[in-house]
Structure 1
Amino acid sequence: MGGSERVTGGRGRLGNVLSGLAVAIGFALFLGGFVWGALVYRPYTIPTDSMMPTVQPGDRVLAERISGGEVRRGDVVIFTDSVWSNAPMVKRVVGIGGDTVRCCAQGGRLTVNGKELDEPYIDDIKADGSGKDSGMASETPFEVKVPEGKLFLLGDRRAASLDSRAHLQEAGQGTVDRSAVSARVDARAWPSAEMLERPRAYAGLPGGVSEPGPLRIQLMAVVAGAVLVVAGAAHGPVARRFGRAGREPARVG
């Protein structure tokens, strides 16, 4: 009888140690995931409809803090340029230094270095919402040689976006310094949660497209940490309940 109690007690102490370890690891993962996310990402509210349908006005997004040197074609970036506005803006990068960006090729598509781009992300609704436009990548024809260290930016809702096309007559033909970029939008957080896809159209160009940030890993750490904390905290009450049930003598009716 005493041996059985010692075995049971030993198992109980081991279970308590393991449950405490699970809680400690879980708490570290949970808190670490949040802190890591706060250091890498910043929340941002989309102010206008110029990036529809990729993001809608009022959407809350998570933008990875990056330097201008990390920007790739196809990225949706947050930047501030005093010529455009004193407030942060969000647009898509379609050309980088050395690129020739032109619109429009036969069929109405945008071209980068002579390559026609398939842009499934653009919105073809007229600015006044009265119906679909001509289906061209831009109603404003242009051809721009992007200077080194600069970016050519367009909104996904081409009919309603004030972007590089609105500044074509200025020095640099509407381009923005790479250093003006502060973050790259990685995911929509509210009202729906989803990652932004990297456009395949730019993958075949030199430099390719950017890799997604560590958001998925951070979320996995937070979820795993929460599960470990709950499981570890629940071990004690569950073990005591089953322990009492095992010690109670069987009743004979």
Structure 2
Amino acid sequence: MDTEAQHTERDRSSGEEERSRSARVSGAETPQGPEAETPQGPGAEADEPSGFLTWRRTGVIGLACVAFLLLFSHFVLQPFLVPSSSMEPTLQVGDRILVNKLAYRFGSEPRRGDVVVFDGTGSFVEEEPAGNPVTGLLHDAAAALGLAEPDETDFVKRVIGTGGDRVVCCDKDGRITVNGVPVREQYVMLGDQPSSVPFDIVVPDGTLWVMGDHRSQSSDSRDHLGRPGGGVVPVDKVIGRADWIGWPSGRWSTVPETDAFAAVPQWTGGGHATGHGPGHG
């Protein structure tokens, strides 16, 4: 019985060795085991699925684009959503204007007739306590991209008088005068008076007297006469000049310039700022 078993074992072993030798000679031996299933070397596939890599790459590119747009809008050109009708017909509710933040960065200052965006804190509105910083940051980012209404402290108006100018309303023909020269304001909303509120002010140096084009619907410098700040806006509060209408597509254009102040000289009469009349809503 033992001898027969040994012969059986020997016969089976000899047959397996022969088959293995034949496979090696013919090149038909197939790798087996864990090493055969796992790619080795620099050409091996990444552990992560290709779909995950695609989404991650897309996310990184998206974040980089948003960061670039935020920096660009902070320093160069900022979209600004027009929230009210105070600048009609020049600007319509819902227009997204592009504010040139470089216009006054290199020694230039706002000129009469410019349409400017400014921070009215301290002149048009009082300082308010800080709110939720996270919510404020998200809103500021959306506003910087023109996706949300601007802060309640930001305004868009037209410059009527600069430092030293004497601005008066109105002459015997109902026109505003600047330094004694009547201004023909063709940009004012059809049917509106230049102002239903009389005033006579010498604009302090370093400040601006601003008004909306839709005079009957604009809360502007006239409303703040007699209040702290006197209705004028410090030049250093100007964010930039509104140069283009970027949206909606049917209104793509530059913001029209005006020659209404071409004949106005510099004021040399001196004097102090004065105001008359009630506030204008």
Please report the TM-score for the alignment, with normalisation by the length of structure 1. 0.60
Whole-angstrom CA distance in 1 between matches of 2:194 and 2:210: 13
Whole-angstrom CA distance in 2 between matches of 1:197 and 1:203: 15
Aligned to 1:145: 202
Percent of residue pairs identical: 41
Aligned to 1:194: 253
Whole-angstrom CA distance in 1 between matches of 2:220 and 2:166: 17
Secondary structure, counterpart of 1:143 in structure 2: strand
Aligned to 1:55: 91
Structure 1 residue 164: Cα displacement: 0.3
**1:67 counterpart (104, 118, 122):** 104
Amino acid at match of 1:165: R
Give the paired residue count.
165
Please report the TM-score for the alignment, with normalisation by the length of structure 2. 0.55
Contact 1:81 1:180 in 2 (8 A): yes
Structure 1 residue 98: Cα displacement: 0.4
Structure 1 residue 172: Cα displacement: 4.4
Whole-angstrom CA distance in 2 between matches of 1:87 and 1:100: 26
RMSD between aligned alpha carbons? 2.3
Aligned to 1:128: none
**1:118 counterpart (184, 189, 201):** 184
Whole-angstrom CA distance in 2 between matches of 1:103 and 1:113: 11
Alpha-carbon displacement from aligned partner over 1:151-200 (angstroms, at most 9, x marks no partner)? 00000000010000000112443111001101100011112101112210
Q: Which runs of 5+ in 2 are unaligned?
A: 1-67, 126-151, 267-281
2:241 aligned with 1:184: yes
Runs of 4+, deviation exceeding 6 Å: none
Contact 1:105 1:111 in 2 (8 A): yes
Whole-angstrom CA distance in 2 between matches of 1:103 and 1:186: 28
Secondary structure, counterpart of 2:216 in structure 1: helix
Contact 2:158 2:212 in 1 (8 A): yes
Secondary structure, counterpart of 2:260 in structure 1: helix
Larger C-alpha radius of gyration, 1 or 2? 2
Structure 1 residue 81: Cα displacement: 1.9
Contact 1:107 1:136 in 2 (8 A): no
Higher helix proportion? 1
Change (3 A) 1:206 1:42: farther
1:212-223 matched pairs, under 5 angstroms: none
Alpha-carbon displacement from aligned partner over 1:186-241 (angstroms, at most 9, x marks no partner)? 0111121011122101123358xxxxxxxxxxxxxxxxxxxxxxxxxxxxxxxxxx
**1:100 counterpart (162, 166, 173):** 166
Secondary structure, counterpart of 1:202 in structure 2: coil
1:1-253 matched pairs, under 5 angstroms: 40-65=76-101, 66-67=103-104, 69-83=108-122, 84-85=124-125, 86-124=152-190, 132=191, 135-191=192-248, 192-206=251-265
Contact 1:147 1:172 in 2 (8 A): no
Greater RCO, CA 8 A, separation 6+: 1
Alpha-carbon displacement from aligned partner over 1:110-137 (angstroms, at most 9, x marks no partner)? 110011001111114xxxxxxx4xx531
Whole-angstrom CA distance in 1 between matches of 2:173 and 2:246: 35
Amino acid at match of 1:71: P
Bigger mean CA deviation after superposition, 196-205 or 53-62: 196-205
Amino acid at match of 1:89: F
Whole-angstrom CA distance in 2 between matches of 1:56 and 1:198: 16
Change (3 A) 1:172 1:115: farther
